[in-house]
Structure 1
Amino acid sequence: MTGATLVVGLGRTDRRDDGVGPAVARVVAARVPGGAVEVRTEEDPTALLDLWEGHDHVVLVDAVVTGRTPGTLHRLEVGTDAPPLPAESWAGTGRAGTHAFGLATAVELGRALGRLPARVVVVGVEAADVDLGDSLSPAVVAVVEQAADLVAEEVTADVPG
């Protein structure tokens, strides 16, 4: 297992607020000291099983649609060190996110296959608009820095010194 925490910004930058994961990941990459974090962006949650292989700690950032106020931040621990989640816990973060094969499905598949890291934290950002377009909505832009702060706290919690 690697000592670096993996941060994955999930989402498509051509689907407006769905691009918040990559936007937050870019901010985190600029803030966290080199070697402490590996930042990746990914459009497809099915790729997570391979991306997080070899990592003990993963932070996933994704747009969610739950009906809450756009820009609301969600935090959920789902790794093997966390207690099993009841199905309704995923409903609070948008069970399928904005993807047909959702983040919840990828996490639960990883758990079933014994390929889920020990610590996985999901940071969800409530989306206002996931239609075609290349800009985030004002409500989501307003919380990118706050979401990056939350991710950076997760990452630096495991950094020695």
Structure 2
Amino acid sequence: MIAFLWAQDENGLIGNQGTLPWSLPNDLKYFKKMTQEKAVVMGRKTFEGMNKRPLPNRVNIILTTDENYQADGVMVMHSVNEVMTFAKQYENDTFITGGTAVFEAFLPFADSLYRTVIHAEFEGDTTIPVIDWDKWKLTDSQVGLMDDRNKYPHDFETFNKK
């Protein structure tokens, strides 16, 4: 299964210069829970925004057009077809985690969308691509708990393709 997993603000913002424009530990915990023992696919800029540190207990796939790109602890792939071939034979879910171009490339293949909506507005340079929500059904929505470390109201939403 191909699934998308991302957090966004009220305007669809997902990043700023390769990093998250907010601090929301609940979302990081959710991301970890959803992707443990699974594959995560991200673009080179997203990976480099994480200081080139592979996420532990996951298959980390970096998608880049740079044929010479290398990084420790990850699989480097150069096309959607290469990732899809991997995903078809992989025994677990494959999560697409950004950035914008990677989301756009895999949108036709996505089976499920896991979205954290942060009910605030931030500054940034990266947005989630336009999604035709008529093709998706909201199957779960949970209100995220706020506390001294999670200062923004947020919801965790699950959509499945109609």
TM-score by length of 1: 0.28
The structure with the larger Rg is 2
TM-score by length of 2: 0.28
Specify which structure has the higher proportion of strand. Answer: 2
